[in-house]
Amino acid sequence: MPKIETTRSLFFSLLEQPPSSTNELAQALTVAKAELDHYAEDSSVIKFELNDTNRPDLWSAAGLARQLNSYRVASRDWGIRAAQRYSFFSTVDRPQSYGERHIVVEKELQKIRPFIVAFELRGSPLDEARLAELIQCQEKICANFGRKRRAIAMGIYNATRLSYPLHYRAAHPTENSFIPLDMDREYNLREILKEHPKGQEYGHIIAHQARFPLVVDQQGQVLSMPPIINSNDVGNVQVGDDQLLVELTGGDLQLLITAANVVACDCADLGFEILPVATHLPYDSELGRQMVSPFNRARQIDLKLDEASHRLGRAINAQEAEQSLCRMGFEVQAVDQQQGRITVIQPPWRNDCMHAVDLIEDIMIGCGIDSFQPLPPTDFTVGRLLPVEEQGRKIVSIMMGLGFQEMMFNYLVSGVDFIEKMYPAAKWPAIRAEMVAIANPLSEKYSYLRNSIIPNLLAVEGASANAVYPHHIFEVGKVARRAATANYGSLTSSMLGFLSAINHEGFSAINERISALMYYLKIDYHLQRSSDSRFLPGRCAEIIIEEQSRGIFGELHPQLLSNWNIETPCTAAEFLFGTHME
Amino acid sequence: MKQYQETISALHPLEAQLLLTLNKEEFSLESLRTATPMEPAQLNQALSFLQRRGLLEELSNEKRLLFAATPRAKEYHQRGLPERHILSWLHKRGDTSLAELSSALGVTQAEVGSAFGKLLREQLVVRKEGGRIALASATQANNRENYVTRLERLIDRGQREEIAQANLNEEEQRLMLEQSKKRGAAVALFRRIERYIVSYRLNHEGLRLQEALRATGVDGNEIGRLTPQMLRDGSWREQRFRTYNISIPPSRVLLGRSSPYADYLRWVKDKLVALGFEEFDGPLVESEFWNCDALYMPQFHSARDTHDVYYVAEPQQAREIDPRLLERVAQAHEYGGNSESRGWCYHFDRQFTKRLILRSQGTALSARQLPQAKIPGKYFGIVRCFRYDQVDATHLSDFYQTEGIILGEEVNLRTLLGLLKLFAEEIAGAQEVRYVPGYFPFTEPSIEVHIKHPTLGWFELGGSGIFRPEVTQPLGVEVPVLAWGLGIDRMALMKLGLNDLRDLFAIEIEKVRLQT
């Protein structure tokens, strides 16, 4: 979830009616699914946490303030004001004039990174606060919404030193070079991928291509190599700059347009004038071969009020729907009282309405959750536990009756504990092949799903030599084992494991406990001698139920105990019950 | 006398027995050995009990020398002293050599030599020219006999007791010092032992207690254990039973006990069953399909990166995902399918969806339940999930999630709020509930429920919502489905008095034993 930081003074200056208390602010933020993150009334910095990962328009002070403002106005008035403030949008029918500001795209980019959109900003010289806003906006959009620059990368440039048209080129990696941001000499494009920190971080997005994306101006001056790095010259924006170019590249035109619109509206809110820039494509896109940004798709959405009433659990009338959708930033185009239908236009900075339910949620937020009274569930249903849970509980109560302490363990385990300390080296490959291994473990300690409980129990014993003896411990839990015939290649099963660390006890004592367990579970079983190397030879038995081996027990081998630094003799058992899950 | 009652009740029978045998006179452990029929170990114990009670006055404490017979003395006690054999041989056969003596008597030369050396010092034998030996002509036969007899008597006595130096006459003492050694006593007949002998007397308190004890009639022969025999033959009627000391600290009893965390989870399960929910469960290994795709989380979602889920190494993919469901889910992602949605508008990867991972959210099992769910139906699971997080006090690599769904023709936002209220009251014991808009990729609307817990204060109890049509429609469900998840770990920690999630899976026995 994105977190953003801004100054209190900037944020409050963007609000039409600043809140009078922290509580009021926190309450107001809920309509944007935002939370205050460490904020004191007297601090100059405010941090927000944004929960909605599909609304990048909320990830900036300006965007958040825009949502809070529209919510407060709660009528078509706000839409009218917004249309005036954001009058720079082009639509399909009405493109804005872009003068000489245009970008020519090279054909080869279609298979590399096909789209680029841009616009210019003019205004009073940048101060620290607005520069910080711009940079944060860029970072959040590219990281979260832009899938770590894979889908969206954005660059900001000093526009006073650019000459149009700009060229979006597919450039040869070693035959082009420029001075990247924060470096002091020229590198060729391939070198930047290897040597610049951003090249190392994002290079994988384009490294496999024969040509790399490069933005240059009419004079051949390099602006940037998207999605990696700007040039250190025009791409190095400073406090005091008053004419800027914002450019975004990517492969998904819809995402790109939304991102560009979000940035443009934020900049307009920060006091910039927005000047459109055109893109000339040598191939087709859903918007044709020429598009002018920022671009308002003006997507029209119909909603049947019945549908909203049904999902929200109470009647929603047209007036309520209109008011609440205005609050959420929609432009209400038509209300058909008779048909019970409302038609809205999605604001250009939003593109999160995939289904009527998305509008219905906005109606809920617009009405306020408190306007919906909780109803107790009325459908009668029978509750029940799974049979394996019932069986597990029976086993827990028998084990407690036998004097055992119940334990609870993690299921992600280490190979050292579960393989190397448990078996002689010759057996490691075979045991590894029985376990579900993690391909991308975070650490060795959590690199396998456990296939057994005995090592967990031994870890307890190894860590508990100071606890009063004897130790009788058990766990009822899950294990996973490889199974060639299973759809997922493994099966999850329920297992009981128990261990006793006590002097002067041995096979006969644990044999008695197994016998008691089976007696109370009413399970017919017999024993079969086993040569499992984890146990002392000749003091280990498999539990056979209906011709199948369901468990094993015996005296643990001294080699095992010594591997775990245990100095008290131990007996242990494992027993599978219930059905396997796949 | 009343003040001695509790002390008398607490007296060990041995203490009582010993106390009753004592008089006003001085005594020591040694003197008591003959005066009481008690075993030495019992006597020791009883004496130390009395001393610890402060009933004895210590009179003196002096070092004494004692002599203990060695194994060699025991051997000679049985076989006869070499000295006696040497003297009688010399008496019968006249002079001889040590070697002849050794072979004739069947004794090692060293032993013969040692015995001869002692006889020589006593001037009972002489060494002649050429190494021959003979009886000393100057001594009388009865001198020889006296010497040997005295020695034999000491050996004999040494078989029964340690001999105190003080109990020997002058001649015996001389003999004993000659025949004993402090160290390396293997070749000597006696070992010298230095020991402190303490003598005591009952003090005033002791005498008073003794008097009180006599008055009660307790003699230390009272019955300890009631036996089945006594019950069978009725002999318990004639017995006096010992009174026991009730202030002895009892030793610790270890018991079989449940894990308090497991107990808590079982309690929550029971609550949910009581609210009409049926339990579900599933494999720990899950496919991307059920874990995320069926939940309409786009394949490019930021929580689906390599650094957010654990991938299974082998096999990497499920052999099959139900092709009918797979196609419908793919369509929902790509363009909405039949769900009246425009979808996520991207190319759905039909191989990636088969990728095997460790289940990262319990909602995966809610999705699995949908195609087979009854209507109306309520389902829940408390299941282990895995997160790609560094483990610390607030993050675990695997942990339990509590999740569930409700299907019904008439469920809606208000019934969802009602359900959350029920959870807040029944499971968290909360009086105040607050609902806040939330975000989950698979529900719309989405609601977070915050509660005012009696001790924890305001916190987020859970997330919930109504499944998006893009989730339910491809899985064949045409009615609305409420989905919910509860974060119960904070309440579990509070209940267990812990503040570190790792302690829920503690591996130190004592820690778990003491959790309540």
Rounded (10°) angle between helices A61-73 and A76-85 = 140
Using the Cβ of A33 and the Cβ atoms of chain B, whether some distance falls under 8 Å is answered with yes
Determine, for residues A405 and B420 on separate chains, whether the beta-carbon distance falls below 8 Å.
no
pLDDT at position A117 is: 96
> B419 — alpha (psi -120 to 50), left (phi > 0) or beta?
alpha
Say whether residue A444 is in contact with chain B using an 8 A CB cutoff.
no
- B320 CB near a chain A CB, below 8 Å? yes
Residue pLDDT, tens place only, A432-458: 999 999 999 999 999 999 999 999 999
Q: What is the pLDDT of residue B185?
A: 66
Q: Which residues of B touch A412 (CB under 8 A)?
A: 310, 358, 386, 397-398
Can you give the pLDDT at residue A341? 94
pLDDT tier at B1, thresholds 50, 70, 90: low
At A413, phi and psi to the nearest 5?
A: -135, 175
Tally of residues, chain A: 582
User: Does pLDDT of B130 surpass 80?
Assistant: no
Please state the three-class secondary structure of B316-363 as a single string: CECCCCCHHHHHHHHHHHHHCCCCCCCCCCCCCCCCHHHEEEECCCCH
Contact A382 B259 (CB under 8 A): no
Q: Which of residues 325-344 of B touch A (CB under 8 A)?
A: 336, 339-344
B301 CB within 8 Å of a chain A CB? yes
Partners of B440 in the β-ladder: B443
pLDDT at residue A294 in the model: 95
Over residues B456-482, the mean pLDDT reads: 94
Looking at residue B240, what is its pLDDT?
87
pLDDT tens-digit map of A114-168: 999 999 999 989 998 889 999 999 999 998 888 889 999 999 999 999 999 999 9
Q: How far apart are CA B227 and CA A373, in angstroms?
A: 72
Integer Cα distance of B127 and B117 in angstroms:
10
Partner-chain contact A379 B287, CB within 8 Å: no
Beta carbons of A467 and B509 less than 8 Å apart: yes
**Residues of chain B with C-beta less than 8 angstroms from the C-beta of A447:** none
Give the residue from chain B lying closest to A460, CA to CA.
Answer: B507
Neighbour-count burial for A204-215, b at 16+ CB within 10 Å, e otherwise = ebbeeeebbbbb
Look at chain B and count its residues: 516
State the burial class of residue A32 (Cβ atoms within 10 Å of its Cβ: 0-12, 13-18, 19+).
buried
Size of interface A-B (CB pairs under 8 A): 282
Closest approach of B225 to chain A, Cα-based (Å) = 27
Contacts of B254 in chain A (CB under 8 A): 403, 468, 470, 472
Question: Tokens in use for A124?
Answer: 């009073």
* Pairing outcome for strands B377-386 and B278-279: parallel
Q: Stretch B386-409: mean pLDDT, rounded?
A: 92
Query: Do residues B55 and B88 touch, judged by C-beta distance below 8 A?
Result: no
Burial bucket for residue A318 (CB in 10 Å: 0-12, 13-18, 19+)? middle
Note which residues in 454-483 of chain B have CB less than 8 A from chain A.
466, 468-470, 480
pLDDT at B139: 66
* Rounded Cα gap, residues A581 and A265, in angstroms: 52
Smallest CA–CA distance, residue A291 to chain B, in Å, is 20
Band (pLDDT 50/70/90 cuts) for residue B80 is confident
Chain B residues closer than 8 Å to A358 by CB: 444
Q: Is B419 on the interface with A (CB under 8 A)?
A: yes
* Closest among A197, A233, A230 to A215, alpha carbons compared: A230
Q: Does the beta-carbon distance from B508 to A360 stay under 8 Å?
A: no
Degrees, nearest 5: CA angle A467-A393-A381: 140
Chain B hits for A144, CB-CB cut-off 8 Å, are 302
| Model confidence band, residue A402 (pLDDT cutoffs 50, 70, 90) | very high
pLDDT tens digits, one per residue of A499-512: 999 999 999 999 99
Smallest CA–CA distance, residue B52 to chain A, in Å, is 29
Rounded distance, CA B159 to CA B73, Å?
Answer: 8
Work out the pLDDT band at B99, boundaries 50, 70, 90. Answer: confident
Structure tokens at B483: 């989905």
B421 to chain A: which residues are within 8 Å by CB?
Answer: 374, 376
Cβ–Cβ below 8 Å for A354 and B312: no
What pLDDT, on the 0 to 100 scale, is given for residue B138? 67
**What is the pLDDT averaged over residues A475-481?**
97
Reported as a single tens digit per residue, the pLDDT across A37-48 is 877 777 789 999
In this structure, the dihedral spanned by the alpha carbons of residues A515, A519, A525 and A531, taken in order and rounded to 10 degrees, is -20
For residues A9-36, average pLDDT: 92
Interface contact A3, partner B, CB < 8 A: no
Mutation choice for A interface testing from B288, B397, B466 by most A CBs within 10 A: B397
pLDDT at B305 over 80: no
- Assess whether pLDDT exceeds 70 at residue B335: yes
Contact call for B391 and A446, based on CB within 8 A: yes
Alpha-carbon distance A569 to nearest alpha carbon in chain B (angstroms): 17
A213 has pLDDT over 90: yes
Residue B106 has pLDDT above 90, yes or no: no
**Which A residues 170-229 touch B at CB under 8 Å?**
none
Instruction: Say yes or no: B251 contacts chain A, CB-CB below 8 A.
Output: no
Nearest to A383 among B275, B281, B388 (CB): B275
Residue B184 has pLDDT above 80, yes or no: no
Cβ-defined contact of A381 to B255 (cutoff 8 Å): no
CB B56 within 8 A of CB B173: no
pLDDT of res. A227: 94
Q: Is residue B306 pLDDT above 80, yes or no?
A: no
Which residue in the set B287, B302, B414 is minimally distant from A373, CB to CB?
B414
Q: What angle do CA B98, B101, B107 make, to 5 degrees?
A: 105
3-state secondary structure of A499: strand
Give the pair of three-digit tokens for residue B308.
């957010």
Q: Using an 8 Å Cβ cutoff, are B308 and B361 in contact?
A: no
The tokens for B395 are 């993050």
Tokens for A515?
A: 């016998």
Task: Tell me the pTM.
Answer: 0.82
Under DSSP, is residue A156 helix (H, G, I), strand (E, B) or coil? strand
User: pLDDT class for B22, splitting at 50, 70, 90?
Assistant: confident
Read off the pLDDT band of B36 (50, 70, 90).
Answer: confident
Pairing of strands A222-225, A212-216: antiparallel
Looking at CA atoms only, how far is residue A36 from chain B in angstroms?
Answer: 14
A15 in contact with B, Cβ within 8 Å: no
pLDDT tens column, A92-120? 889 999 999 999 999 999 999 999 999 99
What is the chain B residue with the closest CA to A466? B510
Task: Please report which confidence band the pLDDT of residue B221 belongs to, taking 50, 70 and 90 as the band edges.
Answer: confident
pLDDT at B60: 86
Q: Inter-chain contact A381–B277, Cβ cutoff 8 Å?
A: yes
Q: Write the pLDDT tens digit of every residue in A530-575.
A: 999 999 999 999 999 999 999 999 999 999 999 999 999 999 999 9
Residue from B292, B301, B380, B439 to probe the interface with A (highest A Cβ count within 10 Å): B439
A570 CB near a chain B CB, below 8 Å? no
